[in-house]
Amino acid sequence: MPERSGPLDEAAEAALAQRRLRDLLDANASIIERLDLEVVLRRIVEAAMRLVDAPYGALGVIDREGGIERFIHVGMDAATVTRIGPPPVGHGLLGAVITEHTPIRVPHLAMDPRSTGFPAHHPPMEAFLGVPVRVGDHVYGNLYLTSGEEGPFSEEDERLVIALAATAGIAIENAHLYDIAKTREIWSDTTADVMAAMLEVADESVLEVITEHVGALIDVDLVVVAVPHGDDDFLVTTVHGRDASSLRGRVFPAAGTLAARALATQRAASVVVGGARGGADADQAPVDWQPGSGPTVAIPLYSGAEPLGVLTLSRRLGAAAFTDADLELAFAFAGQAGVAIEVVRAREDRRRLETNRDRARIARDLHDHVIQRLFGAGLSLQAVSGAVDAEASAVIETQVDAIDAAIKDIRTVVFALGAGERGNQKRTRDRLLDTVAEVSAGLASTPRITFSGPLDSLVPASLADELVAVLRECLTNTVKHAQAHHVEVAAEVADGVVALTVIDDGRGIPEGARSSGLANIAERAQLRGGLCIITAESPSGTRVMWTAPVTAAGQPGEP
């Protein structure tokens, strides 16, 4: 460096001053012409090195605890950096610049008592110059410059770097504002896209929509929705990104996790795995259920006062941490998502209400018009049958029986329509119908099923499970062994007892046949305080009637 080699004459000094002023102007221009923060930080280091002819330079970004959060360095090749190991954390002279908030200029590093020396494989460095970089009223980071054998830095070098640091603070602030604007734009687009998509799906699909769209628009590698599972666990229900198949369906303890903290505080919370530090709400809660994840933010999802779950966004290890702006916008997104979920649920409730109204109207029409007409027709036929010969009377009686059966079927439909929907809980009738549809594929014809009595309102869920199991066993046996052409199923509640009857026209139960399945359903009836009666039909077939009380006394484990 010319200014470090000896005194200069007046003309040379004037020429040098002009050149350094031009260099400072060029350096200022180079760092304020870009808005990308990563590019700006590196250009600040490169401009400072050119300004004072330093072979090595770095910028240490200071975190909230006063350590070095990021270390941007220039001058060493990648192989040397790898051999040196982890970057400095803010000890020695680097830490002195942090704590003193003033420039430090040292002619010989090794002779300064604050120096802690260099790690193995570090290139030799002689002189040192450290200058704080302020953004507004706080110190954002420090510029560090070192030289080899070029001689110490001069007072003029220090003034030039201080002037550059002032411009650097403005450039960093502009880059921050630009990043915040970009972040807001991304979150705004994501929110609009998610809200529009959510209004086109059913209630049960909203979390899947949130996960899919957030994962596509936000710069993250993994998006997970975990919902409360029991009192102390979370269940991963929806995953988008890497390792999706291995994470979906996992249950993990809630205690101490970032998800639990977000749900408890109803605020977005972040963590950077591996000891780095996050934003204002940073927390070192473990995320063991997301192995290999880096910076993570957890966003609580609520529908009114009801906690729906936690949306977590994770980046890869070593990626940039989520900023305070990210947390603020994530929290705003969660609020809007909660409103959209409320709208979806209200729309689903309205649809159910309209469906139930239609069902009630149809049920009334069937009861008040169709059944009454059929009943009148049956009475008229019975009156006529007494005035005709025996053969014609028998035919008429057969038709009257058919009308009675039709009335019974219509009443079953009326009960089903009148019961309506019960949220996400399937009715007993629906479960029995589903079982018939599931098992009867191997039959010659679809079984005929009838219902009688308040089956859905009186039969508890545990007893409904028994009915489904018994019906499945009976139909499975019919498909495998009976070679039946017709099967009839009847489910009835009367006088506090539920009865399930399955009749087929198959070949019956052979002598000496194994009856493990039938023995199981008989044991089920006994445990419920009921009966299982198996009889042969004439001329062929089998009749199974399974009964159990619907009162609490008939439930297992109770007196």
Contact 153, 147 (CB under 8 A): yes
* Nearest CA among 359, 312, 365 for reference residue 334: 312
Share of the chain above pLDDT 70, in %: 77
Structural domain includes residue 405: no
Mean pLDDT within 296-308: 79
Q: Indicate the angle between helix axes 155-198 and 206-217, nearest 10 degrees.
A: 150
Distances (CA, A) of 195 to 37, 127, 325, 347: 31, 58, 21, 14
Structural domain includes residue 420: no
For residues 326 and 431, the model is more confident at 431
Q: How far is CA 290 from the centre of its chain?
A: 13
CA angle 198, 199, 204 (to 5 degrees): 55
The CATH number linked to 539 is 3.30.565.10
Contact 31, 47 (CB under 8 A): yes
User: Over the stretch 375-420, which tens digit does the pLDDT of each residue have?
Assistant: 777 777 877 877 777 778 888 888 877 787 777 777 666 665 555 5
Q: How many domains does the chain have?
A: 3
* pTM for this model (two decimals): 0.44
Reported confidence tier of residue 1, pLDDT bands at 50, 70, 90: very low
pLDDT at site 215? 62
**3-state SS assignment for residue 363:** helix
Alpha-carbon distance of 380 to 172, in angstroms, equals 95
pLDDT at site 547? 94
pLDDT of residue 440 exceeding 90, the answer is: no
- Give the range among 160-169, 379-388, 453-462, 490-499 with minimum mean pLDDT: 379-388
pLDDT at site 283? 40
Same domain, 104 and 140: yes
Alpha-carbon distance of 506 to 483, in angstroms, equals 5
- For tokens 């989520």, what's the residue? 322
The CATH number linked to 250 is 3.30.450.40
pLDDT at site 257? 82
pLDDT at site 216? 58
Tokens of 141: 């980071």
pLDDT of residue 502 exceeding 90, the answer is: yes
Q: Please give the residue range of the domain that contains residue 108.
A: 2-179
Say which amino acid occupies 117: G
Q: What are phi and psi of 175, to 5 degrees?
A: -65, -40
Mean pLDDT within 533-553: 83
Specify the DSSP element, H or E, that contains 467: helix 461-477
Reported in sequence order, the residue ranges of 75-187 that DSSP labels E, i.e. its strands, are 104-106, 128-135, 138-146
User: Over the stretch 116-175, which tens digit does the pLDDT of each residue have?
Assistant: 777 777 787 888 888 988 887 788 888 888 886 667 888 888 888 888 888 888 888 887
pLDDT at site 282? 39
User: Over the stretch 235-283, which tens digit does the pLDDT of each residue have?
Assistant: 887 777 776 667 777 888 888 788 888 888 888 777 765 434 333 343 4
Same domain, 457 and 548: yes
Same domain, 154 and 193: no
